[in-house]
Amino acid sequence: MEWRNIYRGLIMGASDVIPGVSGGTIAVLLGIYDRLIAAINGLFSKHWKQYLSFLIPLAIGVATAIFTLARLMKWLLANYPQPTYFFFLGLVIGIIPNLLITVQAKRTFTIKHIILLMFGALLVSLMIFGMGADQGTVITNKTVKTYILLFFAGILASAAMILPGISGSVVFLVIGVYPTIIDAISTIDVITIGVVGIGIVTGIVMMSKIIHFFLRRYQTATFALIIGAVIGSIVVIFPGWPTDPAALILNVGTFASGLLGAYILGKIEHYA
């Protein structure tokens, strides 16, 4: 078992709880993205057992982070939304140099890769237009239609979770079910969690096959698009400038903490 994947899973799970940062983005930063995609696909091959040592510790970390941090994230976003988003803004901006170094962009990128990067950034940044001020309320009276909506929301969100750039939480926000899902996790609503979870697993399996194909055939081009998506997520995460001087100082501090976090993560993985 690759037990250090637990801490990687913790970071990935925490990022997917927050609207803005994708667990896939963190996987790229940690240098395990291509292995993650290969392992998910490998579960459906005759050699599936060899991938469990990678996936089980990762899954433990992700699940632990989601269930332990849901209430904290709910509280932070309700009471300190701007500082929370500025922390993740710093984290995302801080990982971009690491991503470019990882793919050796100076040596491998050509004009077509730069165009793909710009396209990825534009595509993800346009998600901001789907995010209004009111992203829905907690759905308390759930019907069959509600569960069907939650299932397909899970499928769509899982594509975002596994693709670097936008988190699944952003998709939940756009659809209007984010408060309902966070409430379900914090109150352990087993039925809602189960329906969304089945949708997420279904979507991850489907999307991982597509990504695996492109990583095998067009690795540099795929990573160019991925890095563009990460850059574009900055637009989605940015919460606006604070007007109060005290809030500005706090936000600068959390932003700097995000940058430091990205630097530390990069160093940990480099020497691991």
pLDDT tens per residue across span 138-153: 888 889 999 999 999 9
Instruction: Name residue, tokens 């990935």.
Output: 12
pLDDT of residue 136: 57
Give the residue, 136 or 54, on which the prediction is more confident: 54
Over residues 92-130, the pLDDT tens digits come to 788 788 878 878 899 999 999 999 999 989 987 886 665
Q: Which element (helix H / strand E) includes 224?
A: helix 219-237
Q: pLDDT grade, residue 166 (50/70/90)?
A: low
Place 133 in a pLDDT band, splitting at 50, 70 and 90. Answer: very low
Q: Is the pLDDT of residue 200 over 80?
A: yes
State the SS3 of 154-212: HHHHHHHHHCCCCCHHHHHHHHCCHHHHHHHHHHCCHHHHHHHHHHHHHHHHHHHHHHH
The whole-angstrom separation of Cα 65 and Cα 26 is 14
238 phi-psi bin (left φ>0, alpha ψ -120 to 50, beta other): beta
Contact by Cβ (8 Å): 84, 19:
no
User: Which residue in this structure is represented by tokens 């400038």?
Assistant: 241
Percentage of the residues of the chain whose pLDDT score is greater than 90: 30
* Band of pLDDT at residue 55, cut at 50, 70 and 90: very high
Q: Single out the residue of 228, 227, 169 nearest to residue 29, CA to CA.
A: 227
Q: Which residue is associated with the tokens 């237009």?
A: 129
Instruction: Tell me 9's DSSP state.
Output: H
Distance CA 9, CA 45 (A): 23
pLDDT at 30: 78
pLDDT of residue 13: 85
Instruction: Identify the burial level of 10 via C-beta atoms within 10 angstroms of its C-beta, where 0-12 means exposed, 13-18 middle and 19 or more buried.
Output: buried
Instruction: Give the chain's mean pLDDT.
Output: 84
> Which candidate, 272, 266, 229, places its Cα nearest to that of 30?
266
pLDDT number for residue 114: 96
Residue 165 to residues 46, 68, 213, 234, 246: CA-CA distances in angstroms?
A: 32, 24, 19, 9, 30
pLDDT (mean) for 200-222: 87
Tokens at residue 163, please? 């693709």
Query: Is the per-residue pLDDT at 272 higher than 60?
Result: no
